[in-house]
Structure 1
């Protein structure tokens, strides 16, 4: 089989524009599905007869399956070829999206979401490779900025689009919309890139490493998701899952560090830039993504917002993210990415501090303002840290480095979603108990308040107590959410120094070039 030994020449003109659109749509479709279900969780849960907590599995299992499949990208690329794998992943994503929309019950939906997350794994690394390989080397920073803009807008547009579709049509359509987008992206990508296929060769796969990866990630994710329902370590099931995850993780570490062709090249963490950049981007993304999940849930459950309204409140996040992305592409080659990433972390901290001051009577503008401002650190987040992570890597290590850093980031987001949901629930219970201590007829102020409530609602004592309990629940949930926001702000400041254990990097081009070639 004749395979090109040198990278194909860059694309130009209309062909480059169309190729960029197709690859961007595939990326957008993937990252959109990581957040589009966020605002629809209460509706999906109600329609399928499960609790909202169980409904969040729609988000976390997609992310966990996605994280597991990402490290396989390098092996699959060498066996199948970049173009065939990318187009095949898009078509399977379309098929699994159709299955999600058709799901008659939660079990079927979760199975389809696992498949969807698994086939989505190669899309992010391969979209970077195809896009950057289409541009001249001197334009690599611009290409990386365009990719980052697409990857940034997806999670932002997801809640607004998901809310509008859920309220106007049916939650199933949040998955059906992937079908025309995916078919268009696959067709255009195949027409333009089929003659630019990468060489293939048969190489063995690290079967034991893959099995251990699936076992420890799967057991840990189930433990985090079910911990709250099963009262954590008072349950033998949680203890069993924890033991399985820990033991398989230890064996996974030992095996991967000694295997000649590991499914996950953990030796990459020996590099300062890879270690510091990957840990920083994973922790930051975990905090960002988990808060992006619980914010619309709170607005719908306690503020009475419709799905579309909750989504629209989060939509302004994309304004600055989109406007600043092209500017960042020009600034990056002349700037130390560590400084830009530090500004992003401090910006995130400021945004979450503003949110920690919310009250139950918060107005829409107060909700929107931090979201609007969050677009600024979002624009400074992905591209500089990606440049740091990939800097100094030899060309043959770039796919593995990109895959491992994406795996760590996506898995951190899935785990953090479960942890933050549980923490919010625990803080809400604590605040409810503290507020309830102030109630009781022995407290004269409480008695007066109860009497005024009866008069205002024209109800009896039982009705006044019910209204009071509802008010206490909303206040406790608000205080619990404030705790999450405040802790998130502090953590962003705490993890910012991780960026500075890395060595200086001159712009994004060094890492970007390696991905493209």
Structure 2
């Protein structure tokens, strides 16, 4: 039965169990965005395909997920948030089982598309259900509980995926979702089945949905394949870019004029929603892009193993876990914009510290900014989510959470692609600059070659060794450039945050107002 009245907050054991169940579902979802990354070689080898074909295991999930996330608002109004959330979890479990059972790459890709598609509504609905579970004065604490899962899962994904692939078989990176999903679905249904949201049978916006699939799919594939195909020197990339631009333009016009749009773009009329979404999306793009190049630099150029690189990144979640509840308690007492300002300033400090790395960097020096990064992470998602959702009525919370998460995920992909491409370009530039002086007319270079030849190396081997050192140095300088640019951008984004308005009601009531 559909309830039209907003339910009262949960209490006691139900509140604890509900929070754990919703967090488990979110953790499982976010974990799957990164757990397959380090398992691609094992998957490709087992299925008899190339590594580049194996990367479609990641791409297929990302494309389907990016398309389905902004549909959360429309799906919630049509089916109810509890039914939709439970269905998403169970379908995620089934698709995870199919992924693990996949005998061929084609079967695995189909299962990953299904997995990504059904995963879309889970994160925004977990936010909405959490907010409805807590009293208004504790809504910030609810967001802090949710925030911890989204912070830790992307870091644990590669570590867990690598460990499973090394010690068991790659299908288990998908099978582990089955007990987690069944537990989360069972507990969530037992607690929330009587707390269903209002259902409205609105017509399907077929045109809007088609345009959404076209522009998001084209853009995501373009970003994923751009580096491999040499970007706009490829006819395929140019065609994908044109399809994305044209379909996006038609999508905007159609959704603004459509009576029952598949994505509610009118949410961008709110200054807090727009400012918060831009800040969280650009910040996430910078964070995620750097999260990709740092382990690659450690493994490819400094000789770290995948496990060692993962362990270097692991402490990033420590302060995030410890401080998230503290931020949840502090948020109702302070202006959220000050917390975001502190977060961006500390992110800038962390990236500046990394911009000072060199090829002789030791583990201790690597770990200091990794530990510190957990502090700004704890002040990133929670206050910005509070700003984004502040002042919205209950019926718009799922749509707002879905749309903001969609833009954030999209910017994460864009940030990763831009960062990887920029890093390659900077490596090439620094390599060219350094090799300009690597010739027989340079006494330092000549002395280095002579020194290596006296050790028994041929001139060709000496040149090769020096070129390897130059390549390592170029990669380090290129990474330093990325870190420094990221630090500057975080400082510049602080000004953007102050265009939003303060959350007026105490206790984050404005944020939770939609849940009551």
Asked if Structure 1 and Structure 2 have the same fold, meaning a TM-score greater than 0.5 normalized by the shorter chain, the answer is: yes
2:362 is equivalent to residue 363 of structure 1: yes
Q: 1:285 to 1:361 in 2, by over 3 A?
A: same
CA separation of 1:100/1:275 partners in 2, compared to 1, >3 Å: closer, same or farther? same
Residue number among 453, 460, 463 corresponding to 1:462 in the alignment: 460
Alignment of 1:154-233 (within 5 A): 154-233=153-232
- Cα deviation, 1:6-62, whole Å, max 9, x if unaligned, reads 223333222322222111100111112223334445655666677767665544543
User: 1:135-176: per-residue Cα shift (whole Å, max 9, x none)?
Assistant: 233332222221112222222322332333333334433322
Q: Displacement, 1:259? A: 0.8
Cα distance in 2 for residues equivalent to 1:450 and 1:95: 60
Q: Is the 8 A contact 1:65 1:117 kept in 2?
A: yes
Map of 2:478 onto structure 1: 480
Residue correspondence of structure 1 range 336-415 to structure 2 within 5 A: 336-415=335-414
- Describe the shift of the 1:422–1:100 C-alpha distance in structure 2 as closer, same or farther (beyond 3 A): farther
How do residues 8-87 of structure 1 correspond to structure 2 at under 5 angstroms?
8-41=7-40, 57-87=56-86
Contact 1:38 1:296 in 2 (8 A): no
2: CA distance, partners of 1:49 / 1:439: 42
Rounded to whole Å, the distance in 2 between the matches of 1:116 and 1:99 is 9
For residues 444-463 of structure 1, give each alpha carbon's deviation from its aligned partner in whole angstroms, at most 9, with x where no partner exists: 3222212222344x432333
Alignment of 1:250-289 (within 5 A): 250-289=249-288
Alpha-carbon distance change, 388 to 95 in structure 1, aligned in 2, over 3 angstroms: same
Query: Aligned Cα RMSD in Å?
Result: 2.3
Does residue 1:430 correspond to 2:429, yes or no?
yes
Q: CA deviation at 1:124?
A: 0.8
Q: Bigger shift: 281-290 or 294-303? A: 294-303
Q: 1:484 deviation in Å? A: 1.1
The residue that corresponds to 1:311 in the other structure is: 310
SS at match of 2:463: helix
Retained in 2: the 8 A contact 1:35–1:159? Answer: yes
Aligned to 1:124: 123
Instruction: Give, in whole Å, the separation in 2 of the partners of 1:486 and 1:151.
Output: 25
Separation of aligned partners in 2, 1:79 and 1:226: 35
Q: Which moved more, 1:65-74 or 1:168-177?
A: 168-177
Q: Is the 8 A contact 1:300 1:306 kept in 2?
A: yes
- Partners of 2:295 and 2:172 in 1: CA distance: 19
Paired with 2:192 and 2:397, the residues of 1 have a C-alpha distance of: 21
- Whether 1:92 aligns to 2:91 is yes
Distance in 1 (CA, whole Å) between partners of 2:298 and 2:7 is: 50
The residue number in structure 2 matching 1:243 is 242
> How many angstroms apart in 1 are the aligned matches of 2:296 and 2:108?
20
**Gap runs ≥5 in structure 1:** none
Instruction: Say which is worse superposed, 296-305 or 345-354, in terms of deviation.
Output: 296-305
Indicate yes or no: 2:490 matched with 1:492. yes
Distance 1:513 1:142 in 2: 11
Distance (Å, rounded) in 2 between the aligned partners of 1:26 and 1:338 = 29
CA distance in 2, matches of 1:49, 1:426: 32
Matching of residues 313-328 of structure 1 within 5 Å: 313-328=312-327
Using the size of structure 1 for normalisation, the TM-score is: 0.93
Q: Tell me the distance in 1 between the aligned counterparts of 2:351 and 2:51.
A: 24
Conserved? CA contact 2:74–2:263, under 8 Å: no
CA drift of 1:435 comes to 2.2
Q: 1:171 to 1:459 in 2, by over 3 A?
A: farther
What is the DSSP-based 3-state SS (H/G/I as helix, E as strand, rest coil) of the residue aligned with 1:196?
coil
CA distance in 2, matches of 1:281, 1:312: 26
Instruction: Give the whole-Å Cα distance in 2 for the aligned partners of 1:214 and 1:356.
Output: 38
Mark the CA change 1:166 to 1:300 in structure 2 (over 3 Å): closer, same or farther: farther
In 2, Cα distance between equivalents of 1:45 and 1:310: 22
Relative to structure 1, is the Cα distance of residues 194 and 223 closer, same or farther in structure 2, using a 3 angstrom cutoff?
same
2:396–2:514 CA contact under 8 A, matched in 1: no
Q: In structure 2, what is the Cα distance between the partners aligned to 1:53 and 1:312?
A: 26
Query: In structure 1, what is the Cα distance between the partners aligned to 2:64 and 2:269?
Result: 26
- Tell whether the 8 Å contact from 1:96 to 1:113 is kept in structure 2 after alignment: yes
Query: Alignment partner of 2:498: what SS?
Result: helix
When the two structures are aligned, how many residues end up with a matched partner? 515
Task: Report Cα offsets for 1:438-494 as digits up to 9, x if no partner.
Answer: 2233333222212222344x4323333333333222222222111111111111111
Q: Deviations over 1:229-252 (max 9, x none)?
A: 323222222221111111111111
Deviations 1:281-302 (A, max 9, x none): 1100111111112222222222
Pair 474,100 (structure 1): closer, same or farther in 2 beyond 3 Å = farther
Using the TM superposition, give the Cα deviation of residue 116 of structure 1 relative to its aligned residue in structure 2, in angstroms: 2.1
In the alignment, which residue of structure 1 is the partner of 2:419?
A: 420
Partners in 2 of 1:106 and 1:430 — Cα distance?
Answer: 37
Residues 152 and 378 in structure 1, CA contact (< 8 A), matched pair in contact too: yes
Residues 297, 511 of structure 1: CA spacing in aligned structure 2 closer, same or farther, 3 A cutoff?
farther
Query: Which stretches in structure 2 are left out of the alignment for 5+ residues?
Result: none
Q: 1:439 to 1:51 in 2, by over 3 A?
A: farther
Q: Is the 8 A contact 2:137 2:332 kept in 1?
A: no
Give per-residue Cα distances to partners, 1:325-370, cap 9 Å, x unaligned: 1111111111100111011111111111111111122111211111
Once the two structures are TM-superposed, the CA of residue 399 in structure 1 deviates from its matched residue by 2.1
| Residues 387 and 508 in structure 1, CA contact (< 8 A), matched pair in contact too | no
Aligned counterparts of 2:256 and 2:211: Cα–Cα separation in 1: 13
